[in-house]
Amino acid sequence: MNSFKKIIRSQLMRCRMLLFYVLNKGKFKRLEIKSLIMHPLRIEGPEYISLLSGAVIQDHAFLYAEKIDEHEPELIIGRGSVLGNYNHIAAVRRVVFGDNVLTSDRVYISDNLHGFENINVPVMHQPLQFKAEVSIGDGSWIGENVSIIGARIGKNCVIGANAVVTADIPDYSVAVGIPATVIKKYNLQNRMWVKTGR
């Protein structure tokens, strides 16, 4: 009986993906078949957003891509990547997820910040400022409540829950904390995870 339920669920998911593709293929910069945004909270700038094959974004995501200067923004979700519920992704220049990236719920990823230089103007009324391009390497996992702002995450990394990442994390690393620091790295010669100095 369980296998029958799995088959039905799988067929329903395929139907949903096909329907999503048919209804939205002209709205996004690039929309490959088998990609799906379940029940988005908000999507701004779909003409700058690409969802590659098998990319799935769970419920209540807020995807935001806005042109704030001469650069055309890019937000790319790689093949087979799965983004959790309540993810908030913002790009004014470039935010790229590699293939098979997994994010937990309530993850915030942005390549920009609100300006706050003018103390006579509320922060919410000051312009967005590009910080740095964001990339999440193939096969990485981003834990619950993580914030990544203007930083690159390498391949097959683990970013622990509640971490705030503002500096680049190298390939094959485990990073935790505020600000996030690397606590383990994979040693390719010894073929094992090794603790760092922390």
- Pairing state between β 102-103 and 30-31: unpaired
Asked if the structure places residue 51 within a domain, the reply is yes
Are 68 and 45 contacting, i.e. CB atoms less than 8 angstroms apart?
A: no
Task: Supply the pLDDT for residue 133.
Answer: 97
Whole-number Cα distances in Å, 175 to 127, 143, 198: 31, 10, 11
Asked whether residue 8 is assigned to any structural domain, the reply reads yes
Q: Report d(CA 37, CA 41) in Å as an integer.
A: 10
109-138 average pLDDT score: 95
Q: Look at residue 36 and tell me if it is in a domain.
A: yes
Task: State the pLDDT confidence band at 1, using cuts at 50, 70 and 90.
Answer: low
How many structural domains does the chain have?
Answer: 1
Q: What's 58's domain CATH number?
A: 2.160.10
Asked if residue 37 belongs to a domain, the reply is: yes
Q: Give the pLDDT band of residue 11 (cuts 50, 70, 90).
A: confident
Q: Which domain holds residue 83?
A: 2-145
Query: Which of 47-51, 84-88, 189-193 shows the lowest per-residue confidence on average (mean pLDDT)?
Result: 189-193
Residue 123 has, within 13 A of its CA and on its CB side, a CA count of: 4
Mean pLDDT estimate for the chain: 93
Question: For 45, left (φ over 0), alpha (ψ -120 to 50), or beta?
Answer: left
Residue 194 has pLDDT above 80, yes or no: yes
Of the chain, the percentage scoring pLDDT greater than 70 comes to 98
| Closest-CA residue to 81 (of 55, 58, 118, 63) | 55
Q: Does residue 92 lie in a domain region? A: yes
Q: What six digits make up the tokens of 98?
A: 């590699």
Residue 186 to residue 137: CA distance in whole angstroms: 15
Q: pTM (2 decimals)?
A: 0.91
171 belongs to a structural domain = no
Residue 163 lies in a domain: no
Share of the chain above pLDDT 90, in %: 80
